Amino acid sequence: MKIALAQHNYHIGNFESNTKKIIEHIHLAKKNNADLIVFSELSVCGYAPQDFLAFDTFINHCETAAKHIAKHCLDIACIVGLPIKNTSPIGKKLYNAAYFIENGEIKSTVRKTLLPTYDVFDEYRYFENNRQFECISFQNKKIALTICEDLWNENHLYSVSPMDELIKQKPDLMINIAASPFSTQQGKERQHILSSNAKKYALPLLYVNQVGAQTEIIFDGGSCVFDAQGEKQMELKSFEEDFQIVNTEQLLTLEKTDAPSEIAQIHDALVLGIKDYFQKSGFSKAILGLSGGIDSAIVCVLAARALGAENVLAVLLPSQYSSDHSVKDALDLVNNLGCKSEIIPIHNAANAFEEMLSPIFKGLAPNLTEENIQSRSRGLTLMAISNKLGYVLLNTSNKSEVAVGYGTLYGDMCGAIGVIGDVYKTQIYALANYINKDEVVIPINTIVKPPSAELRPDQKDSDSLPDYDVLDSILFQYIEKQQTPSQLIEQGFDKDLVNRIIQLVNNAEFKRYQTPPILRVSNKAFGIGRMIPIVAKHNP
């Protein structure tokens, strides 16, 4: 059987473009003599539609689109994903489902059984879980079709295993359609799960994943085919659309190649994240504050790669505390990239505020307040240019500083999308070296100088934070691994340091609530995947 794997980047709620893409590829597959074409989970509407699912008309749009798609399925069958109504009066109103379409008609429906409801997933918010299992009959073969999580039975979260049910009907082939997001851990785990399912059930497995970023969640694609021995036979591209046809009777073992490095994957994920945020929102031009430091330099490079350097405006906003080299380093980067730039010193604005506030602040020493005034004057200036000239502001906060709350709300925490908010400072350095691997893009001085916010004379990050190696290890254990202070101390970290760092993280919850969405590249990013009470005694 010749099966086409269609790995697409869908636009949530854009039935016109999604349907067009699906129909075009049905015809392309037919032209290439495919018997069946497979699209990813919720392909008709894009994943994840969230509370759009509460609108009756949204579900009707999905059904109408599917009927329109069905008309094009002549001499070729197709599997598409969409939400469908639960016709029973009991249970959630919808199923996360897939239609099997043949001869222009919807021949059968498969419903998702295991509904991920953790981290960034909230499927049980919307969907009822399936309890009936039936293989699809096609060309005298039986296909065991499952939807994403249905195959992820190794986590023991569920008491049912859909494939354990379907295998009883002696299928010839497994197909899994997915919307499985990228993280640096996810790729390896996904390959393991798919391979072990193929082996366990001794069946070939075709896997079709969504690609593209939906605000903060980045889908990496990497659709693939495993043979009945669990060996990989085909793999589609990562971080871009792809289309391949496989002959299930002639599976050829793929030569093993090394996966790209973690940093290379993060780089590609973030470029895609920026690109899709802009394209899908109808914007093309980005603005950012360029300080001469490494964080904004990285964001500037990623933005130039995603949108074209000509669409990136880097604004230098020096104050009296900015060092001479900061402006030079920033301008060197601008020259290397060929993006646009402006220099707007902020001291007049900062002075105006300090003067306005001098009666009420009389007798009080300068402190963080004045640092925040500088940071917020920068934010205000960037937002004004954004408003006037139609540029979208990129946020440049890294995960380490977002974690400990070293950022000013409404100041450097401004922006439409947080580009590196899920990238620890130690990874930022690795990203800079990766970007510079063939030629110097990011000025060497930007990489080697000690990091500083430059909000007061001779300020350095190391004045108040430990080495980033140590800081990031503590943060990783607390945020990603849910290790508490006592467990961290047992691991050998310094007690006072651990307590101070964890307290900083906890005290910043109210700030993080108001940060922009952050492109997710780890298993636990700040944002919708991490829900911590703001008003609480923080000693989990």
List binders of a copy of itself among 19-58 (CB under 8 A). Answer: 46, 48-52, 54-58
Residue with tokens 């109408």: 64
Among 172, 240, 242, 342, binds a copy of itself (CB under 8 A): 342
Q: Is 516 in the site for a copy of itself (CB under 8 A)?
A: yes
| Contact stretch for a copy of itself (CB under 8 A) within 141-149, 196-204, 244-252, 377-385 | 377-385
Q: Based on the shown chain and the rule CB under 8 A, indicate whether residue 444 belongs to the binding site for a copy of itself.
A: no
Q: Is 157 a residue that touches a copy of itself (CB under 8 A)?
A: yes
Residue 504's nearest CA partner among 485, 481, 482 is: 485
- For a copy of itself, the closer CB: 252 or 352: 352
Distance of CA 318 to the CA centre of its chain: 32
Minimum distance from CB of 222 to a copy of itself (Å)?
Answer: 21
Q: Does 280 bind a copy of itself (CB under 8 A)?
A: yes
Question: Looking at 30, 78, 102, 112, which residue is catalytic?
Answer: 112
In the shown chain, the binding pattern of residues 399 to 438 toward a copy of itself, with x for contact by CB under 8 A and - for none, equals ----------xx---x-x----------------------
One-letter amino acid at 153 equals N
Residue 332 is which amino acid?
D
Count residues binding a copy of itself (CB under 8 A): 94
Q: What minimum distance in Å lies between the beta carbon of 81 and a copy of itself?
A: 16
The catalytically annotated residue of 41, 149, 216, 371 is: 41
Alpha helices in 308-419 (DSSP H): 324-337, 347-357, 368-389, 399-404
> Which residue reads 């599917």 in tokens?
66
Contacting a copy of itself (CB under 8 A), which of 210, 233, 515, 522? 515
To a copy of itself, the closest distance from the beta carbon of 191 in angstroms equals: 24
Q: State yes or no: is 128 an active-site residue.
A: no
For position 166 contacting a copy of itself by CB under 8 A, the verdict is no
Length of the chain in residues, anyone?
540
Q: Cα–Cα distances in Å, from 460 out to 79, 245, 331, 450, 466?
A: 56, 55, 22, 7, 11
What are the backbone angles phi and psi of residue 244, rounded to the nearest 5°?
-140, 150
Cα angle 267, 268, 271; round to 5:
85
Q: Which pair of tokens denotes residue 356?
A: 């306005």
> Is residue 109 within the footprint of a copy of itself (CB under 8 A)?
no
Tell which positions 521-540 bind a copy of itself, by CB under 8 A: 528, 530-540
Q: Output 252 or 364, the one with its CB closest to a copy of itself.
A: 364
Q: Are 435 and 442 in contact (CB under 8 A)?
A: yes
Closest CA to 65 of 51, 78, 50: 78
Among 91, 433, 462, 464, binds a copy of itself (CB under 8 A): 91
Known catalytic residue at 148 = yes
**Interacting stretch for a copy of itself, rule CB under 8 A, among 135-143, 168-176, 384-392, 452-460?**
384-392
Alpha-helical regions (H) of 91-215: 162-166, 186-201
Cα 69 from Cα 221, distance rounded (Å): 22
Active site residue 142: no
CA distance to 268, 275, 277, per residue, from 282 (Å): 21, 11, 9
Binder of a copy of itself out of 261, 351, 445, 462 (CB under 8 A): 351
Neighbours of 265 (CB within 10 A): 20
Count of helices and strands (H, E) across the chain? 16, 19
Residue 90 lies near a copy of itself (rule: CB under 8 A): yes
Strand-pairing partners, residue 235, are 224
The catalytic residues are 41, 112, 148
